[in-house]
């Protein structure tokens, strides 16, 4: 019996059902996967808000701590300033007490019974009247033979190599002794034999006589090396022309060891005479004293010719200008 073939259609209803079911399953999966997404986003936003709130709280805490620290720092600064002020006041009180103590101590040392002082003055006056007719100028009115009656003193110091190499320590000592011979003067000055000043800031004016200034002169002598030509004429002339005044009693001290060059002594003396002219009472404008230092020779040895010339020049100058010349030897050291 012959079998009849049935025609099969590719797109039958059953096939379409299967296709539709597949698409439906896919759509269902997509829907299910999207259901929880808003919940995750909300949780993330909530976590961020909590983090921001936490950070803001920490920021507020830090600001509060900073404010407290600033306040404490200001208080400490104020306390430090107050302490410094108190320290300054205490230092001032200490200085004032020290000053009062020194003044009291000096006053006690200087206290003299006024009755005894008047009696001593009276005895001295009577003795002076008794001796006045017998008065004659002698070396007792001088220190080391040099009169010390001047109110202003000028040192003209030879700063040549020979003085610095052989005599500088002795020069410093004799300068100190000369200053000590004048307990108080109205002014002083120091220059070398070329007329250059030890203290240029005092050029043309007097150095005030104070203990501090005297010590400054002595200290400066240790390192004062102003090269000169061993000729005191320039320094003497500069001192007379710059500082002479009719109402001042001035003495010039010339420290040197030789007189170099071919200068004629008579001409030098005449030049100084023109500068240091006679005044109304027959004396010169200023006194000129001389101190001769040894130039490395020993007693009994040969004296250099330049040292002999210096001694001759200063003897004549001192004699003509109311002063005294003192020649030192190595034994004077």
CA distance 247 to 332: 36
Residue 220 is predicted with a pLDDT of 94
Residues 6 or more apart whose CB falls under 8 angstroms from that of 155 comprise 175, 178, 188, 189, 190, 191, 252, 253, 255
- Nearest Cα residue to 190 out of 149, 162, 226: 226
Residues 6 or more apart whose CB falls under 8 angstroms from that of 77 comprise none
Residue 189 is predicted with a pLDDT of 97
CA distance 298 to 330: 6
At which residue do the structure tokens 């240029």 appear? 200
pTM of the prediction?
0.57
- Give phi and psi for 207, each to the nearest 5: -80, 125
Residue 136 is predicted with a pLDDT of 41
CA distance 332 to 297: 12
Rg (CA), the chain: 53
Residue 66 is predicted with a pLDDT of 86
CA distance 269 to 321: 10
Q: Which CATH number fits domain 139-332: 1.10.760.10, 1.10.530.10, 3.40.50.410, 3.40.640.10?
A: 3.40.50.410
Query: Could you state, in chain order, the average pLDDT of each consecutive group of 10 residues for the chain (333 residues)?
Result: 52 69 77 59 72 84 85 84 78 78 63 52 52 42 62 95 89 92 93 94 95 94 88 92 92 92 86 88 90 68 82 92 86 57
CA distance 292 to 274: 24
Residue 3 is predicted with a pLDDT of 53
């Amino acid at each position: 019996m012959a079998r009849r073939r049935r025609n099969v259609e590719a797109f039958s209803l059953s096939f379409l059902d299967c296709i539709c079911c597949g698409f439906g399953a896919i759509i269902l999966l997509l829907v299910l996967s999207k259901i929880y997404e808003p919940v995750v986003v909300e949780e993330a936003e909530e976590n961020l808000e909590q983090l921001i709130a936490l950070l803001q709280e920490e920021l507020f805490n830090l600001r509060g701590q900073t404010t407290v620290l600033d306040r404490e720092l200001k208080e400490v600064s104020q306390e430090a300033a107050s302490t410094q002020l108190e320290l300054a006041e205490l230092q001032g009180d200490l200085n004032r007490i020290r000053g009062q103590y020194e003044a009291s101590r000096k006053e006690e040392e200087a206290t003299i019974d006024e009755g005894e002082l008047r009696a001593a003055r009276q005895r001295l006056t009577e003795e002076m009247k008794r001796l006045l007719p017998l008065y004659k100028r002698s070396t007792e009115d001088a220190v080391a033979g040099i009169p010390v009656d001047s109110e202003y003193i000028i040192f003209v110091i030879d700063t040549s190599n020979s003085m610095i190499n052989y005599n500088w320590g002795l020069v410093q000592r004799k300068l100190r002794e000369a200053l000590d011979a004048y307990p108080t003067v109205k002014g002083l000055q120091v220059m070398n034999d070329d007329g250059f000043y030890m203290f240029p800031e005092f050029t043309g004016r007097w150095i005030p006589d104070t203990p501090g200034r005297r010590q400054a002169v002595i200290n400066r002598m240790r390192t004062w090396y102003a090269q000169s030509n061993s000729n005191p004429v320039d320094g003497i002339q500069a001192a007379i022309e710059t500082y002479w005044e009719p109402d001042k009693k001035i003495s010039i001290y010339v420290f040197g060891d030789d007189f170099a060059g071919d200068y004629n002594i008579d001409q030098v003396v005449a030049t100084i005479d023109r500068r240091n002219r006679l005044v109304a009472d027959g004396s010169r404008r200023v006194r000129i004293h001389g101190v001769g230092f040894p130039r490395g020779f020993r007693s009994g040895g040969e004296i250099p010719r330049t040292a002999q010339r210096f001694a001759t020049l200063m003897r004549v100058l001192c004699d003509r200008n109311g002063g005294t010349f003192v020649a030192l030897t190595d034994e004077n050291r």
